[in-house]
């Protein structure tokens, strides 16, 4: 594996510009220098993609926390990347969970994150979730991290975390899989197929930005729930001679904002990648905490039950109820923080976390959680 490394710091101007003449080397034997507490960096490496052969790719990563601390990899959905928490230059996608005194505290753990393979639109090829897991393994080797205490993944990140546990079991102590399982549900794949058709229609009309905006609007509908929309938006109105839905302004805003910052190629390839998730749960023997949302229409709770029943290792299942559906990992901040905090003990992942049970504690706005130890899963109403 060929790899060139470049560490950068928020104070160093262009964070993504590689150093001139960066040397190629094997990450297994020549890790990059020990990072500072908050470092952004970039690696160039050759990786064998399952469906597209050998490709040279660029990985942009960020680490938070001292190198001596237990390492935790954190990954979100296909729109999330290395910026877990915001600073003076960027906004973060998980500020509610990352930071001093929060569930993922850089004072207690060395947090590692990266931008997905294909996120910059430069890799126009089929990308498997397993490819992401292998890229993460290469990144960890370059950073001198032999083993993660935990892999915390949400949505697509949960899928990749499970792939990592199956393919690199010796390098991770536990996986926390939030709103993502061992497979892409056929109903969810149908949603995403329609989104990709919107991209194709945009391209045919020489208006890729509009196609991407429309695809994002379809995606928003799949992330959220009818209950939220009923409470949030009013009835249709006649505006300038046509009927306009109460949610259209919101959807238009979401589509425009997303298409302004996202590559159409990236959306196409990462959407496809979700649908390639197909993993045998029996291939995973490390402890796994599975977090599901009863109202999630993309990752049905039944798939979470199946995953827990089939995993070989110690398991814990938490089922939330939330009007935010698939987006609960972003919106139900207190509930997710509680689950993460219970998973992490002292400065490392607690080995006893997977056997705890809380008997259906009340959570937030009408939400409930059920923790299930072992593989005899009882469905909580």
What is the pLDDT at residue 89?
A: 86
Q: How far is CA 126 from the centre of its chain?
A: 18
Contact 118/273 with Cβ under 8 angstroms?
Answer: yes
Token pair of 233 as six digits: 């938006």
CB 320 within 8 A of CB 205: no
Band of pLDDT at residue 88, cut at 50, 70 and 90:
confident
Structural domains of the chain ordered from first start: 3-184+278-373 (3.40.50.1820), 186-275 (1.10.1740.110)
Please state, in angstroms and rounded to a whole number, the distance separating the CA atoms of residues 354 and 15: 39
Could you tell me if 318 and 177 are in contact, meaning their C-beta atoms sit under 8 angstroms apart? no
Place of tokens 């023997």: 285
What average pLDDT score do residues 344-352 get?
48
In this predicted structure, the answer to whether residue 10 has a pLDDT above a threshold of 50 is no
- The mean per-residue pLDDT over the stretch 1-29 comes to 36
Q: Could you read off the pLDDT of 248-273 as tens digits, one per residue?
A: 999 999 999 999 999 999 999 999 99
Q: Give the whole-number percent of the chain exceeding pLDDT 90.
A: 78
347 is a catalytic site residue: no
CA dihedral 23, 59, 118, 340 (to 10 degrees): 170
In order of 68, 231, 277, the CA distances from 365 in angstroms are: 39, 14, 32
Task: Give which of 152, 71, 58 is closest to 109, Cα–Cα.
Answer: 71
Residues 6+ apart with CB under 8 A from 47: 1, 54, 55, 57, 117, 131, 134, 135, 138
Of 16-20, 45-49, 315-319, 332-336, minimum mean pLDDT range: 16-20
In the block, tokens 């008997």 appear at 359
> For position 190, what pLDDT does the model report?
97
Q: What is the mean pLDDT of the chain?
A: 85
Tell me the average pLDDT across 332-337: 97
Report residue 145: phi and psi, to 5°. Answer: -100, 110
Q: What angle do CA 319, 325, 331 make, to 5 degrees?
A: 90
> What H or E segment, with its residue span, contains residue 212?
helix 208-223
CB 112 within 8 A of CB 41: no
Residue 111 clears pLDDT 70, i.e. is over it: yes
**296: annotated active-site residue:** yes
Q: What is the pLDDT of residue 87?
A: 85
Beta bridge partners of 177: 153, 290
Which of these, 72, 66, 38, lies nearest to 340 by C-alpha position?
72
Q: Is 120 a catalytic residue?
A: no
DSSP code at position 299: S
Residue among 196, 46, 193 at smallest CA distance from 123: 46
Cα distances (Å, whole numbers) of residue 306 to 45, 72, 309: 36, 26, 5
Closest CA to 151 of 132, 123, 128, 125: 132
Interacting residues of 218 by C-beta distance below 8 A, sequence separation 6+: 191, 194, 195, 198
Paired sense of beta strands 175-178 and 24-25, if any: unpaired
pLDDT of residue 364: 36
Catalytic member of 79, 149, 155, 179: 155
For 378, list phi and psi in degrees, rounded to 5: -105, 130
CA–CA dist 244, 249 (Å, integer): 9
- Give the closest residue to 32 by CA, choosing from 141, 114, 135, 136: 141
> Mean of the pLDDT values across residues 170-195?
98
Instruction: Characterise 144 by phi-psi region: left (phi > 0), alpha (psi -120 to 50), beta (else).
Output: left
Q: What are the b/e assignments for 231-243, b being 16+ CB within 10 Å? A: eeeeeeeeeeeee
Mean pLDDT in residue range 47-70 = 96
The single residue of 296, 303, 327, 371 carrying the catalytic annotation is 296
Torsion of CA 96, 100, 106, 109, to 10 degrees: -90
Cα(175)–Cα(286) distance, rounded to whole angstroms? 7
pLDDT of 345: 62
Tokens of 333: 């901040």
| Residue 45 CB-half CA count within 13 A | 27
Among candidate residues 168, 182, 185, 326, the one labeled active-site is: 326
End-to-end CA distance of the chain: 49
Residue 344: the pLDDT is 83
pLDDT score at 200: 96
């Amino acid at each position: 594996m060929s790899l060139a490394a470049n560490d950068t710091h928020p104070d160093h101007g262009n964070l993504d510009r590689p150093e001139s003449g960066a040397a190629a080397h094997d990450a297994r034997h020549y890790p990059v220098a020990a990072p500072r507490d908050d470092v952004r960096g970039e690696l160039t490496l050759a990786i064998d993609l399952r469906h597209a052969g050998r490709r040279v790719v660029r990985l942009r990563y960020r680490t938070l926390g001292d190198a001596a601390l237990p390492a935790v990899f954190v990954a979100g959905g296909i729109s999330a990347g290395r910026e877990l928490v915001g600073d003076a230059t960027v906004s973060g996608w998980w500020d509610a969970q990352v930071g001093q005194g929060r569930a993922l505290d850089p004072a207690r753990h060395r947090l590692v994150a990266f931008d997905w393979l294909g996120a910059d639109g430069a890799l126009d090829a089929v990308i498997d979730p397993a490819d992401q897991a292998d890229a993460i393994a290469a990144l960890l080797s370059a950073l001198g991290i032999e083993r993660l205490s935990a892999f915390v993944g949400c949505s697509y990140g949960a899928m990749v975390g499970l792939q990592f546990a199956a393919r690199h079991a010796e390098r991770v102590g536990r996986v926390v899989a939030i709103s993502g399982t061992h497979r892409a549900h056929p109903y969810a794949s149908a949603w995403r197929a329609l989104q990709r058709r919107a991209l194709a229609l945009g391209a045919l009309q020489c208006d890729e930005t509009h196609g991407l905006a429309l695809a994002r609007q379809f995606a928003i509908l799949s992330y959220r729930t009818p209950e939220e929309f009923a409470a949030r938006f009013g009835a249709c109105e006649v505006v300038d001679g046509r009927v306009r839905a109460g949610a259209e302004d919101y959807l238009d805003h979401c589509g425009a904002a997303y298409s302004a910052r996202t590559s159409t190629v990236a959306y196409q390839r990462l959407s496809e990648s979700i649908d390639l998730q197909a993993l045998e749960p029996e291939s995973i023997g490390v402890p796994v905490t599975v977090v599901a949302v009863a109202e999630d229409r993309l990752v049905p709770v039944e798939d979470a039950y199946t995953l827990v029943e089939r995993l070989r290792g110690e398991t814990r299942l938490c089922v939330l109820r939330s009007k935010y559906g698939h987006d609960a990992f972003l919106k139900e901040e207190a509930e997710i923080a509680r689950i993460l905090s219970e998973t992490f003990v002292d400065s490392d992942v607690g080995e006893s976390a997977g056997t705890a049970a809380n008997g259906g504690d009340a959570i937030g706005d009408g939400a409930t959680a059920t923790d299930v130890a072992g593989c005899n899963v009882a469905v909580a109403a």
